[in-house]
Amino acid sequence: MTDHPINDVAVIGGGAAGLAAAVTLARSLRSVVVIDAGEPRNAPAAGVHNLLGREGMPPAELLAAGRAEARGYGATILPGRAVTAGRAGDGSFVVTLADGGTVRSRRLLLATGLVDELPDLPGVRALWGRSVLHCPFCHGWEVRGRRIGVLGSSPLSLHQVLLFRQLTDTVTLFLHTMPEPDDDAWEQLAALGVRVVSGVVRDLRAEGDALRAVVLEDGHEFALDALTVAPRFVARGELFEQLGGTLTEQPTGVFIPAAPGGRTDVPGVWVAGNSTDLTATVAVSAAAGAVAGGGIHGELTVEDTAAAVSARRAPFSAAAEAEQARRVLGDRRHGVDLAGAPR
């Protein structure tokens, strides 16, 4: 890839946001390369939800369809991991891959997603995305009417209790490491019939992919069918920082800041999906990718038009006229013939 031509856009990340952007750009005849490490965040999930027309589709099938659509419009899907990003002398971007190859582009779209930093609790990672959950909109229907626990880790855990209580009458809040609820919170919990358990959770007991119980440090077990946790969401922002950008931190995690539409403060760098919106679902990420793709195309169109105008004016510029006079008249343009004698 060292001698690869300069693409209009390099998209880092082959998830919903990156592929939607690639389709949007390729449909406008932009040259696009999508660098895909092949590690989608939602891989453990059985299906994608709240995506109109694709309800319940397995994540791998959705991405395969997206790649086929992007390729169908002329985009290039390049398997690999982007490890560095910088600028060439002409201002274009140079992305280096783990295998040593490089990709050059006029614009860069970061659709790198995020990493879920899960509670350090045995069993959580193994059950993640199946019976250990965090989002009621992504997985709530699948555990409706079941015995659901909420692992308390911050005041935001109370919000999870309220959302999951809508899905079942049997919700248990494990206070674990969260602060003691205030009086208003205790009243809400009582009014909703939520069971509250004090003590720190030690681990989870499961059978295969199915959660069976939460085990406290003192050995007491509480039978459950699903457990809700609150991960810390950390955007994959290393490339953004390499390009001079600064990540933003908030209570729930770290993200790449951007204006509506995806333009960042780093010229030529755009962002879409979970790397800038920590709560975005697949549907929201795909929409954001399409919006960012349209914005990038618009920006490139303005740049291309300005270059065309400049090229059209060039033959009539003062510099061009002087060069033409030099070629045709030589030194005579100064009133001196070739022999150096005055005319």
Res. 318: pLDDT tops 90? no
pLDDT per position as a tens digit, 16-28: 999 999 999 999 9
**Residues 322-340, mean pLDDT to the nearest whole number:** 60
Find the mean pLDDT for residues 141-162.
95
Q: Are 216 and 134 in contact (CB under 8 A)?
A: no
Q: pLDDT grade, residue 65 (50/70/90)? A: very high
Share of the chain above pLDDT 70, in %: 92
Instruction: Give the pLDDT score at 119.
Output: 93
Q: Name the more confident of 206 and 332.
A: 206
Q: How confident is the model at residue 319 (pLDDT cuts 50, 70, 90)?
A: confident
Report yes or no: 80 and 98 within 8 Å, Cβ to Cβ: yes
pLDDT of 123 > 50? The answer is: yes
pLDDT band at residue 165 under the 50/70/90 scheme? very high
Within a 13 Å sphere around the CA of 292, how many CA atoms are in the beta-carbon half?
33
- What the chain holds in terms of domains, given with CATH numbers, is 7-115+232-305 (3.50.50.60), 119-228 (3.50.50.60)
Look over the chain and give the mean of its residue pLDDT values, rounded to a whole number: 92
Whole-number pLDDT of residue 2: 43
How far is CA 208 from each of CA 52, 125, 127, 134, 205, rounded to the nearest angstrom?
31, 13, 9, 20, 10
| pLDDT value for 283 | 96
pLDDT-based confidence at 325, cuts 50/70/90?
low
Rg from Cα positions in the chain: 28
Confidence of residue 270 (pLDDT cuts 50, 70, 90): very high
Q: What is the pTM of this model?
A: 0.88
